[in-house]
Structure 1
Amino acid sequence: MKGPESAGSRTLTGPQLFLLGGSFLITLGSFAVLPYMSVLLHDRFGLGLGVVGVVLAVASLVQFSGGVVGAALAARIGLRATMLVALAVRTAGFAAFVPGLTRPVVAVAALFLVSCGAALYLPANKAYLVAGCGHERRPGLLATSGSAFNAGIALGPPAAAPFVLTSPAGLFTGVAVLFALVGAGHVLLPSVADTGGGVEDTAVEGKAVEDRAAEADGVAAGAVAGSRLPPFAFTVLAVYVFMFFQHYLALYAVPRTSTAFYGAVLMGYAILLVVAQPLLARRLAALPYATALRLGFGSMAAGTAVLALGGRAGIAVGAVLLCLGEIVLFLKNDLEALARSAAPSATVFGRQRLAAGLGAFAAAAVGGQLYGVAERAAAVPVFWLVVSAQAVVLPALLVVWVGGSARRRAGDGPVAAHRPR
């Protein structure tokens, strides 16, 4: 395969094309199985819903937060080697589901193996994809990678639906073989160095990062710099708000519309995400960070508020607005974190995965309680209004807290020492 592209190249290299295709196949295989785990654990193995919930929550936390471990491994053994280890672990996990069909403990262990493999793979995958690329190429590459992942997410569940309950052993075997083949393809990838975050780029790019960061707060020089708005924290909040939609839309939408309509909404959401994200990538990259935050969280706030209206129109429009919020926030936070850090790219992406895991875990812990209260009060639409309010209030509180912290640090600096007593 052709090696990494030069910073100015506009074409995809062979390794990049392979990784994008592999991203689609990996998520296609994963989401042929993972969305049905609650059904298998509960209906086939007889585990209580409480136990199933705990297993899935912990597995999700491992899959997200384990990205920091994947980043550390990439720093030690390299990007390609880390991806190979990760795919070997995931292949073993899916293969272990076959004996796990008669042994619940083995099935749970297989699920954790799959989650560990995902945690190891994604930071190295993203870092390899953008290795050797300048700022102008990263938005398009990361957006296209996201589209490949989301296409697999959209197609995996319907592709596996006819087999998951009737012939699960064949399904698990097929997915394990798919992962083994994708892993074999990774052996042919050339080794590349993790070129690190944006502050190690050229002086021109570094100046652009500083200018963009200064604009992000919309304040004059000497006030709180935009670079103080932390992408890690805003990723936690973005995923936290989004996961309410992810977890509870089905409970809300199906009784008010139909299963077919809910499926159509999910399919439309996935198609919009796959198509729009690459098209908007360069414009999003050019947006000041604070503007992107306002647009993204504003879209999520509006979307969840519209969901409270119920009905087909409210649910469809709310989903479109939430899709826009996801496109803006998820991509912009990754780009901003990458541009501001001198750490290896895999380390940056690992931290971002940890942030996503914290947000998802918090949403799971809070969302069930909130939805239960709203349901018992026969006021489920109020649940979405509460989520909408959080999408406005929490980011604003974080901005205020960051600004206050910056002013306190400035007050304790060298200038403060010379103020008249």
Structure 2
Amino acid sequence: MHDPRVLLDPAADAVRKLSRRGFTLDLAYLEKVFSGRNAAIQRGDEARAESKRLSTAVKGATPEERPALVQASRDLKTTVSEADEEQKRLDAELTEFLLGIPNLPADELPDGASDADAELVRTWGEPLPAEGARDHVELGESLGILDLARATKLAGPRFAVLCGKGPALERALARYFLDVATGRHGYTEFSVPTLVNRETMTGTGQLPKFEQDLFRTGVADRDLFLIPTAEVPLTNLHARETLVAEDLPLAYTAHTPCFRSEAGSYGRDTKGLIRLHEFSKVELVRIVRPEDSRTELELLLSHAETVMQELGLAYRVVKLAAGDIGFSAEMTYDIEVWLPGQGAYREIASASDFGSFQARRASIRTKAKDGTRGFAATLNSSGLPIGRTLVALLEQGQQPDGSVTIPPVLVPYCGFDRLVPA
């Protein structure tokens, strides 16, 4: 969420920046609500101060003076009550308005609103030829590790059943990702709830704007949502807390199931493991000082790239266009893995810098030893999603005889170096 004073400051250039992501900021409305709220606060404060003065005056007043002073005091109390009610109303109106405004995109992002407008940063690895390559669905079914038909019977489309050596490979990937994050990159692992409340979802920007993309469950009088990513609970671990600035950065990771309704995806990737309603992922979250966020973003990106490279997966890194970044992000890199079965690079991970946008919504504050106070900055990246990594392993590891080779780094985790047709 934004500080309205920043949005109204011409130096912030908020209208231009938001227009780059296709959002029109109604500055006139913001000014009206914000100034009205401030005026209500001032009226209430002035009336309270005058009421306090009159209370003292009443005590020393003559019997003739007292009735008028008492009536004036009552009138002031009415003014205070009305001003407080007006402030509450305008506070709610202002908050609702601010919660719907996305983060300001970084000026360094390219213009545009689609993946075609992304800026290529670098590539890694040698892409396998697409000619003659099979996709992961055909491979998974022939290897006896993927059963989409029974998944549809159980839950409907966009769910998957892994079987045979598939679940072992899934577990191996999760353990490997977590070992790299915790053992080499200094992340602390958490086990977090996959059901969270509305306030938690609001803190990271999923609510109120994207409620249609979430799975909501009502249990008795509790309003709970299934998490779309572990970013949500991990970031909100410190909601409404003040952190010691000198203790930052904090680096957290978790392996969780994730749930997304995929509202508005309009039939994209309905086959296979690319875009499921339920999937699992290892997430990386960093809470840092705002002045360090860009450096931390590059570090976070390198952590995701480490596992890509150790798995031997050809990929590229792109900087997303201003109109294509997520609601809460001010800058995002996508890692796109090469899928020969599709003859295309497809997103496998995103690394985003949110600046203080999420921290303001979740009230994650900092205090330095010299007394300086502010808000933290937050970042997150997939580190990686299990399903999409499995897709890449199958398609990039496929052999002419129908088998799939397993990257050496995973063999100690899964216990086999090859998948063969069932």
Give the TM-score normalised by the residue count of structure 1. Answer: 0.28
Q: RCO higher in 1 or 2 (8 Å CA, sep ≥ 6)? A: 1
Q: Per residue, is there more strand in 1 or in 2?
A: 2
Q: Per residue, is there more helix in 1 or in 2?
A: 1
Give the TM-score normalised by the residue count of structure 2. Answer: 0.28
